[in-house]
Amino acid sequence: MDPAPAPPPPFAVHLVSGGSSSPELPLLLQSLAAARVVALDAEWKPRRRGASAPGPVDGASPALPNPPLFPTVTVLQLACRGEEGCSEVFVVDLLAVPLADLWAPLRQLFERPDALKLGFRFKQDLVYLSATFTAALGSDSRFDRVEAFLDVTNVYYYLMGHDRQKRLPKETKSLATICEELLNVSLSKELQCSDWSCRPLSEGQIQYAASDAYYLLDIFDLFHQKVRTEEKCVSTMETSDQHCPQRAIECSSSGYVICSDDYLTSIITKYSDRILLAESDTKARSSRRKQKQKLSTDAKCKEKFDCNTEWQGPPPWDPSVGGDGYPKFLCDVMIEGLAKHLRCVGIDAATPSWNY
């Protein structure tokens, strides 16, 4: 059965693009404070070395003369689910919202042990997000941890029956693949490499960003349902008082019956992890070991070039050998991300369209 195209999220998407005078920012801060489950994602424009970071708009936080070592996060998406099971999605324009208004609420959310945070390989997002706030507000405004974090990759393998005592496969699935397999929803990734520093954001970008956070909650609902079933937590509490908390079982907006309070706490205790950023995570440079390996490899390559130059010649796209002067690359599907980044810098790259 072919997956259905991703429909627009079945609720309003709040675009937060102003300061405290805007009604959306207070609503975001209120939702963050009351949320029990929050799905997180971020977007940024890949930045080549030496390129300047995008600046703020409309009098928001000023950019410092020295750009951050990492790409500047320009969009932050949060899907919040509160005590009553209602969900709201926020797309936060970090180039327009004063970062000083966001830092404390975000840090509090990241460190709250009673609020479950969902993400997909979110450590890189956290590194870039921390660098963005540090560049704008100073070294005391970094984020160094996320408590009570659940990676959707781990959720996927749990739902697929993977033994939690065994190591996860090295080849991880993309979020689009996970949504397709678990939700039968096809997430378009055409806008993933778009210019997220260009303003105003297009409607397509807003919907793309919102969907990435929204479907994390849907995946969590499947996980929550399976955990509840396996632990024999039934909605009536007639025969399973020892498994369910004292409070009554409530229904979330997604239609799944979930246990509140103590039951969510038990999920956090049993299944969640934490993200801790080490000092080395905040430095965009190779380790000494990698540098030594690179120097050794470079020396070997130079020696090879000096000893044997018979193979050298014009590249296949050189006009002298019948090419059109434009480099073209065909990337294997396993390195599809490389093709996307090549296209971002103007190089013609494609991946095979067939399935293996």
Domain boundaries, the chain: 4-282, 291-350
The whole-number pLDDT of residue 275 equals: 97
Max avg pLDDT among 44-58, 59-73, 272-286, 327-341: 272-286
Pick the range with the lowest mean pLDDT from 13-27, 60-74, 240-254, 282-296.
240-254
Global model pTM greater than 0.75? no
Q: How confident is the model at residue 104 (pLDDT cuts 50, 70, 90)?
A: very high
Q: Are 167 and 95 in contact (CB under 8 A)?
A: no
Q: How far apart are CA 208 and CA 202, in angstroms?
A: 10
Q: In the beta sheet, which residues pair with residue 350?
A: 330
Q: How far apart are CA 224 and CA 266, in angstroms?
A: 11
262 or 115: which carries more pLDDT confidence?
115
Q: How confident is the model at residue 25 (pLDDT cuts 50, 70, 90)?
A: very high
Pick the range with the lowest mean pLDDT from 20-24, 104-108, 248-252, 346-350.
248-252
- How far, CA to CA in Å, does 186 sit from each of 120, 212, 261? 17, 11, 33
- How far, CA to CA in Å, does 308 sit from each of 232, 294, 313, 315? 69, 21, 12, 17
- How far, CA to CA in Å, does 223 sit from each of 154, 177, 182, 230, 330? 10, 17, 10, 11, 37
pLDDT tens per residue, range 114-124: 999 999 999 99
Max avg pLDDT among 249-253, 282-286, 290-294: 282-286
pLDDT tens per residue, range 127-169: 999 999 999 999 999 999 999 999 999 999 999 988 777 787 7
Pick the range with the lowest mean pLDDT from 191-205, 232-246, 328-342.
232-246
Measuring CA to CA, which residue among 189, 251, 181, 162 is closest to residue 219? 181
The whole-number pLDDT of residue 213 equals: 95
Mean pLDDT for the stretch of residues 178-194 = 88
Pick the range with the lowest mean pLDDT from 181-185, 240-244, 253-257.
253-257
- Whether residue 73 is predicted with pLDDT greater than 60 in this model: the reply is yes
Structure tokens that stand for 301 in this block: 């390559």
Q: How confident is the model at residue 284 (pLDDT cuts 50, 70, 90)?
A: low
Q: What is the H or E stretch that residue 155 is in? A: helix 152-159
The whole-number pLDDT of residue 42 equals: 97
The whole-number pLDDT of residue 166 equals: 78
Mean pLDDT for the stretch of residues 333-347 = 73
Write the class of the CATH domain 4-282.
Answer: alpha beta
- Whether residue 71 is predicted with pLDDT greater than 60 in this model: the reply is yes
pLDDT, the chain, mean? 79
